[in-house]
Amino acid sequence: MASKENNNVHPEHEHISSYKEHFGTWVGLILLTLMTVFVSAFGADLSTLTVVTALTIATIKALAVALYFMHLKYEPKVYRAWIIVVMALFLFFLTMVILDFTTR
Amino acid sequence: MTVAALSQPNFFQAKKGIASWLFTLDHKRIGLLYLYSIGFFFIVAAGLGVLMRLELLNPGRDLIDAQTYNQVFTLHGVIMIFLFIIPSIPAVFGNFALPLLLGTDDVAFPKLNLISWWLYVIGALFALFTLFYGDGPADTGWTFYAPYSVRTGTNVSMTVMAAFVLGFSSILTGLNFIVTIHRLKTPGMGFNQMPLFAWSLYATAWIQLLATPIIGITLLMIVAERVLGIGLFDPSIGGDPILYQHLFWIYSHPAVYIMALPAMGIVSEVIPTFAQRTIFGYKAIAYSSMAIAFVGYFVWGHHMFTSGMSGPAGFIFSILTFFVAIPTAVKVFNWVATLYKGSISIEVPLLFALAFIFNFSIGGLTGLVLGALATDVHVHDTHFVVAHFHYVMFGGAGFAFFGALHYWFPKIWGKMYNKAMANLAFILLFIGFNLTYFPMLIVGIMGMPRRYYDYLPEFHEMNMLSTFGSWIMITGLIIMIINLVVSKQRGAKVSGNPWNGITLDWQTSSPPPLHNFDKMPVLPEGGPYNYPDAISTHEEKEKKDDE
């Protein structure tokens, strides 16, 4: 009953991404993957920064997927806010576990 | 309040046959499917609890040996936590009452709702299956602590898979409620006009959605270690057992609020209805639910103070733990303030709500002893902890569940239970509960460890008291169940609104029709608890008394 008459249901304005945008994102992901392989397999000597580099590249790739392939860039701000909250929570979990491990 | 005339058949009459129940998409029927299945498992687990108390009546072996005792307390914990308390109020009363409270005809995804129940049944069957093959049910405790859970020969993998499947049921229910609350509120109802039970379900749903996947992954890691020998938690193959405890409690502490928050929502519904006055501090109660859900994510480490976790981490977790007390206390003070100058009618649901406040306060205050680093060291893994969480879980969430059952019983079945019997059951439950668990606080302080089937002679008297209490409690439970089952068949018929409530669930007939409302429900002016005859000042009270 209420669902069809509901004043909280707004019409959605869907963004349709272009092939160019999808293709560009895909190329970017491939390049970043190649960079990860290069750092790992071809002996780029980054010493202690090896793990940091791999994680940074992985984070950028995940962001690209979330923003473009999963349309987060075109969704209402509230979704982005929730993603940020969840990522902040995840960061807190990691920080506390690492803090515990390093100070035992 | 005008109650809609009955023009459609009610949801019991709308369709007939077992298939119409097992494959129903009606949120009310799904709520009842959960009630029957959750009720069954609660009775099984309560029976196991009584068996444990019988074994502890005297020191030494009375009924069962040490290994069986280990398996019994594990099964009791797994069933009570994963099959009763976590799904209980959201799955039963959330499903039944949320769309009614919001003035809509169903949840956002009815088919997903049915899948949630089926996943619950499949998870439950997995748990039961562990009884009948191999070395029997797990003996690890409901926490599945590594490395023991990786090494024991009992059916840990199957038990863990049961919890994994049940987690999916929980996630889907949470997702359904979030979307329902955002999208299906009746026209004119904003977040700040929403009943407080809906607020508590909303906060709970975010925990279900965000925290449950973590336990799912963690439990899969246990299976991976057991089956594939991957060194994740067992130090002998390169793992870290404390990492397991971190991952487990990152979910399981927020899960405490999956159990407690809906119970608080029930209390927030019951108190204004039976005080017939506006709830004190509506926004404070609503937002404190969100605050509890949020802060609850940051405190898991207080379960690990003696596990070998580092001092600095323990210090931070201890401080953060104390922050949870603030929004919890906000709720308690507001409930008490609501009763002040109310036109209170002492009905059974209100008694359960008041018992919730009493028991939960003891549970909360003993929680402060456990949240403080220095005192926790002395009482960790003693019966003090067992008593503390039973005060929170059973004395709190369990009593709220019973309160909700008595509150919405006339709405669900259109009949009233025998109030004298319900009062008797309540009194026995309340006395029995406190007699069972308060002595555990004392023997815990004295140093009696938990999870042992034997104990030293100096703990005997308190254990006897505790076991006697369990008999009183189980008597109350049996009377309550018989009373409700008999009243469901033979109870006196009631009007649509026997409690004079003003939330939208009381604006439809009892039992409600299939699509909930014959006509569009009318929002009460001035908020969901703005009782027209409420007395707000002392002068008004005196004037009414004079009249």
B9 in any annotated domain: no
pLDDT digits (tens, 9 = 90+) for B301-332: 999 999 999 999 999 999 999 999 999 999 99
- pLDDT of A44: 65
Within a domain: A81? yes
Cβ distance A7 to B313 less than 8 Å, yes or no, reads no
Q: Are B182 and B158 in contact (CB under 8 A)?
A: no
> Does residue B11 fall inside a structural domain?
no
Residue A10 lies in a domain: no
User: What's the pLDDT at B526?
Assistant: 85
Judge if A28 and A59 occupy the same domain: yes
Looking at residue B231, which CATH number applies to its domain?
Answer: 1.20.210.10
- How, if at all, do strands B415-416 and B492-493 pair? antiparallel
* Domain range enclosing A83: 75-104
How many whole angstroms separate alpha carbon B423 and alpha carbon B414?
20
Q: Is A29 contained in some domain?
A: yes
Asked, for residue A44, whether it belongs to a domain, the answer is yes
Distance (Å) of CA B146 to CA B64, B140, B141, B150, B219: 25, 9, 11, 6, 11
Residues 6+ apart with CB under 8 A from B547: none
Question: Is B4 contained in some domain?
Answer: no
The verdict on residue A8 lying in a domain is: no
- Quote the number of domains for chain A: 2
Q: Is B103 left (phi over 0), alpha (psi -120 to 50) or beta?
A: left
Of A5, A89, A103, the CB nearest to B187: A5
Give contacts of A92 with chain B, Cβ < 8 Å: 297-298
- Threshold 0.95, pTM exceeds: no
Decide if A18 touches B, using CB distance below 8 A: no
Kindly state whether residue A7 falls inside one of the protein's structural domains.
no
pLDDT of A7 higher than 80 = no
Assess if residue B191 is contained within a domain.
yes
Which residue bears the tokens 């990691």? A94
Q: Residue B142's domain spans which residues?
A: 18-546
* pLDDT for the residue B133: 80
Largest distance between two CA atoms of chain A: 65
Quick one: A65 and A79 in the same domain?
no
Q: Which residues contact B296 (CB under 8 A, 6 or more apart)?
A: B207, B253, B254, B256, B257, B324
Q: Are residues A38 and A62 part of one domain? A: yes
- B104 within 8 A of A2, measured Cβ to Cβ: yes
In terms of domains, do A81 and A103 share one? Answer: yes
Which residue bears the tokens 């863990």? B160
Give A43 or B78, the one with higher predicted confidence. B78
Find the residue in A nearest to B518 (Cα).
A1
Q: Are residues A66 and A101 in the same domain?
A: no
Q: Is residue B538 part of a domain?
A: yes
- Within this chain, do residues A53 and A88 fall inside the same structural domain, yes or no? no
Which conformational region is residue B185 in: left (phi greater than 0), alpha (psi within -120 to 50 degrees), or beta?
beta
B400 and B356 Cβ atoms separated by less than 8 Å: yes
What DSSP line would sit under B111-177, residue for residue? HHHHHHHHHHHHHHHHHHHTTSSTT-S--STTTT-TTHHHH--SSHHHHHHHHHHHHHHHHHHHHHH
Inter-residue contact B69 to B141 (CB < 8 Å): no
**What is the DSSP secondary-structure string of A83-99?**
HHHHHHHHHHHHHHHHH
Q: Which two tokens stand for residue B499?
A: 């409690």
For the cut 80, the answer to whether the pLDDT of residue A28 exceeds it is yes
And the tokens for B340? Answer: 């002040």
Q: How far apart are CA B286 and CA B404, in angstroms?
A: 19
Rounded-to-integer distance, Cα B145 and Cα B383, Å:
18
Does the residue A60 lie in any domain?
yes
The answer to whether residues A44 and A81 belong to one domain is: no
Tell me: pLDDT of A6 over 60. Answer: no
The predicted pLDDT at position A77 comes to 87
**Other CB atoms within 10 Å distance of the CB of residue B381:** 12
Q: Quote the pLDDT of residue B7.
A: 64
Distance CA B327, CA B83 (A): 28
pLDDT at B356: 98
Is residue A9 in some structural domain? no
pLDDT in tens, B122-170: 999 999 888 888 788 999 999 999 999 999 999 999 999 999 999 999 9
The DSSP letter of residue B415 is: E
| pLDDT confidence of residue B535 | 56
Cα-Cα-Cα-Cα dihedral sign, residues B441, B447, B451, B457: negative
Of B106, B187, B310, the CB nearest to A100: B310
* 3-class secondary structure, B97: helix
- pLDDT on residue B539: 62
The predicted pLDDT at position A46 comes to: 65
In chain B, which stretches have pLDDT less than 50? 1-6
Tell me, what's the pLDDT at A36?
A: 87
B297 vs A8, A89, A97: nearest CB: A89
Q: Give chain B's domain count.
A: 1
ipTM of the complex: 0.86
CB of A96 closer than 8 Å to CB of B245: no
Interface membership of B493 toward A (CB under 8 Å):
no
User: CB-based contact (8 Å) between B517 and chain A?
Assistant: yes
Q: Residue A2: is its pLDDT beyond 50?
A: no
pLDDT-above-90 percentage for chain A: 43
Q: Is B480:B460 a contact under the CB 8 Å cutoff?
A: no
Q: Do A3 and B516 touch (CB under 8 A)?
A: no
